[in-house]
Each structure stands twice: as structure tokens, then as C-alpha cells.
Amino acid sequence: MIGEAAKLLARSRFAIAFTGAGISAESGVPTFRGFNGLWKMHRPEELATPEAFRKDPHLVWSFYKWRMDLIRKARPNRAHYALAELERMGILKAVITQNVDDLHREAGSRNVVELHGNIFRVRCTSCSYRENLKESGRLDEFLKERDLPKCPRCGSLLRPDVVWFGEPLPRKSLEEAFRLAERADLVLVIGTSGVVYPAAYVPQIVKETGGKVIEINPEESGITPIADVFIRGKAGEVMGELLELVRGLANE
Ligand code: NAD
Ligand code: ZN
């Protein structure tokens, strides 16, 4: 299975990766399902919505600050590094991610398309103000503040710059993702349940335009029925091995 995947990758002309929360699980960032019971009595699906934010911005902000703090301490794992290395080798052309954790870029991936935003960015609920707290160096101060965060430009409430359930995806990122999927002759699908649309169209577009679908997941997902190769396992372990095999083939 993994040998077949390595051959397909080594032979591909335009490979892309499509990742979900599972790729960051070994970095200590729980998938949404992994959150159950971890965070008070609320399900993340009930907190990551515009309705929840309108009803109780304090609750939603404390959830997001808790996640920001957890994610800032997380480091990329072998799967993130392997994707960055495949890009440097010229094999992988882009990573399309549903994650908000920034770990692909931390690992060195350059062409990253974020479909669901970024946990370190905030934006104003009224004007066009946006800030990346990691880049502006204000993250520590932001996490310590107990009052609700306000826009420095207009004074309105700030919100996390992530896509909540029921909200549209950022148009430019989605268009870029679909363009890449149409060009791709192979997609590596890693750690996603493949049930969140429109993101889950990405592997389907690759398949429909004649490309190969390689999936890595400890469990079957919504993508498994269209996978040409399904590798059951954890992202870090499988990607470490896959990278070695591809390197071997590239040197032949
Ligand atoms: P998801 O829909 O991407 O599902 C997680 C998948 O990862 C499952 O199929 C599971 O079998 C698989 N998985 C678990 N451990 C794995 C491992 N070690 N290696 C490979 N695969 C593994 O994600 P979700 O948790 O249902 O969340 C839905 C959305 O919530 C995401 O698309 C994202 O926008 C957001 N989210 C982001 C993060 C993050 O940025 N790290 C974390 C949680 C949720
Ligand atoms: Zn504002």
C-alpha cells in the first residue's frame, strides 16, 4: 500500500495535499471530536457558530483563547515536516488545509491555502480591521486581557478570524483551492473526516479530473470510497515512512 503510494507520488507531475485536524493530532492539537469532555460541558460545534458568539461572546472568546494558548505551544510533527520537504523536493505544489493552527507554515511549507482561517488572527465585527497577533507580537497581552477584545480602530467587538459552522469560506482561498485541485494529478488526503463542505470537494475534483487520491487516516472517512490508495495509520508515522520511500525512488 505505502509502496504504491510512494510510486504514484514520485511519478506525479502536480501533487497537492489536503489536510484536516487529524494531521495535527500528534502535535497535541485535539480534533474536534477529541475535544469532547475536555472543554467544560460544551461541544465545539456549539461554540464555533455565529449564534453562540452573539448569545455569549465571553464564553466563545474563552474557548478561543484556550485554544490559542494550546495551539501556540504545539509544534509541527513529522507529517507537517514531510509535506514541507516534499514541496522543497518539487513534488508537492501546495497544501490546502482546513486547519487554523499555522503548523504547516511553521514546518516550512510555503504554498499553504487556509480554507478555515487562522486562529492567531482576529478581525472586527464592524469594520475591515484585521490583525495577526503572532506577527504583531501582541499574543501574550491579548491572552491575559479579561475584558472582551475591542477594535482599536472603531471600538466594536473583535472576533476570531476563523470560519464558523454555517459561515461561507473566504472566496479567494476557496477559488485557489479549486484551481489547484483541477490542475492536480494527485492529492494526499491526510487526517480529515471529509464531511465538511465545500472543503471536501477538493479531493473529489482531483478524482473527477482523472487524478489519484491517496488517503492517510487511522479510520475510514467520507473520502475513503474514492481513494485509490488508503493507508490506515497515524499521519506522522505514515508520512515519515512515505517520505523515505519517495526519497529512495527520487534518487534511483
Ligand atoms: P476533521 O473533520 O478533519 O476530522 C479529523 C480526522 O482525523 C478524522 O477522520 C480522524 O479519524 C482523523 N485522525 C485522528 N487522528 C489522526 C492521526 N493521528 N493521523 C491522521 N488522521 C487522524 O476534523 P474535526 O476534528 O472533525 O474538525 C472539523 C473542522 O474543525 C476542521 O476542518 C477545522 O476547521 C476545525 N479544527 C481545526 C483544528 C486545527 O487547526 N488543528 C483542530 C480541530 C478542529
Ligand atoms: Zn473596527
Q: 133 with 206, same domain?
A: no
116 flagged as catalytic: yes
Q: What is the pLDDT of residues 85-97, one digit of tens each?
A: 999 999 999 999 9
Residue 212's domain spans which residues? 2-28+75-116+169-250
- CA end-to-end span of the chain: 20
- What is the C-alpha separation between 98 and 115, in angstroms, rounded? 5
194/155 same-domain check: no
Which bound ligand lies closest to the C-alpha atom of 157? Answer: 2
* Phi, psi dihedrals of residue 9, rounded to the nearest 5°: -65, -50
Ligand 2 mean position, distance from CA 71 (Å): 26
pLDDT tops 60 at residue 196: yes
Same domain membership, residue 49 and residue 151: yes
Asked if residue 228 has pLDDT above 60, the reply is: yes
Residue nearest to atom 28 of ligand 1 (CA): 32
Q: Is the CB of 87 under 6 A from ligand 1?
A: no
Question: 100 with 138, same domain?
Answer: no
pLDDT at 17: 98
Q: At 115, which amino acid appears?
A: L
pLDDT band at 44 (very low <50, low <70, confident <90, very high): confident
Q: What is the mean pLDDT of residues 30-48?
A: 73
pLDDT digits (tens, 9 = 90+) for 240-252: 999 999 999 988 7
Residue 24 CA to residue 198 CA, distance in Å, equals 21
Average pLDDT of the residues of the chain: 95
Query: What mean pLDDT do residues 162-183 have?
Result: 96
* CATH number of the domain enclosing 240: 3.40.50.1220
Q: At residue 181, does pLDDT exceed 80?
A: yes
Ligand 1: which of 23, 29, 32 to mutate, most ligand atoms within 8 Å of CB? 32
One domain for residues 95 and 215: yes
pLDDT value of residue 109: 98
CB 196 within 8 A of CB 98: yes
Residue minimizing CA distance to atom 8 of ligand 1:
193
Name 213's Cβ contacts closer than 8 Å, sequence gap at least 6.
186, 187, 189, 203, 206, 207, 223, 226, 227, 228, 229
Same domain for 146 and 236: no
Chain centroid to CA 11: 26
Is 86 found in the same domain as 201? yes
Q: Which of left, alpha, beta for 205 (phi over 0: left; psi -120 to 50: alpha)?
A: alpha
Ligand 1 centre distance from Cα of residue 193 (Å): 7
Q: Which ligand 1 atom lies nearest to the CA of residue 29?
A: 41
Which residues, 6 or more positions from 5, have their beta carbon under 8 angstroms from its beta carbon?
214, 229, 231, 242
Instruction: Give yes or no: residues 183 and 157 share one domain.
Output: no
Q: Is the CB of 192 under 6 A from ligand 1?
A: yes
Q: Same structural domain for residues 225 and 242?
A: yes
For residue 67, the CA-to-ligand 1 centroid distance in Å is 14
Quick one: pLDDT at residue 43?
79
Q: What's the predicted TM-score (pTM) here?
A: 0.95
What CATH number corresponds to the domain at position 57?
3.30.1600.10
Neighbours of 203 (CB within 10 A): 28
| Count of domains observed in the chain | 2
What pLDDT, in 10s, does the model give residues 85-131?
999 999 999 999 999 999 999 999 999 999 999 999 999 999 999 99
Instruction: Determine which residue's CA is closest to atom 35 belonging to ligand 1.
Output: 99
Distance 151 CA to ligand 1 centre (A): 31
Asked if pLDDT for residue 33 goes beyond 80, the answer is: no
One domain, residues 218 and 112: yes
Q: What is the pLDDT of residue 250?
A: 84
Indicate if 111 and 231 belong to the same structural domain.
yes
Counting from 1 in the atom list of ligand 1, the atom nearest the Cα of 162 is: 34
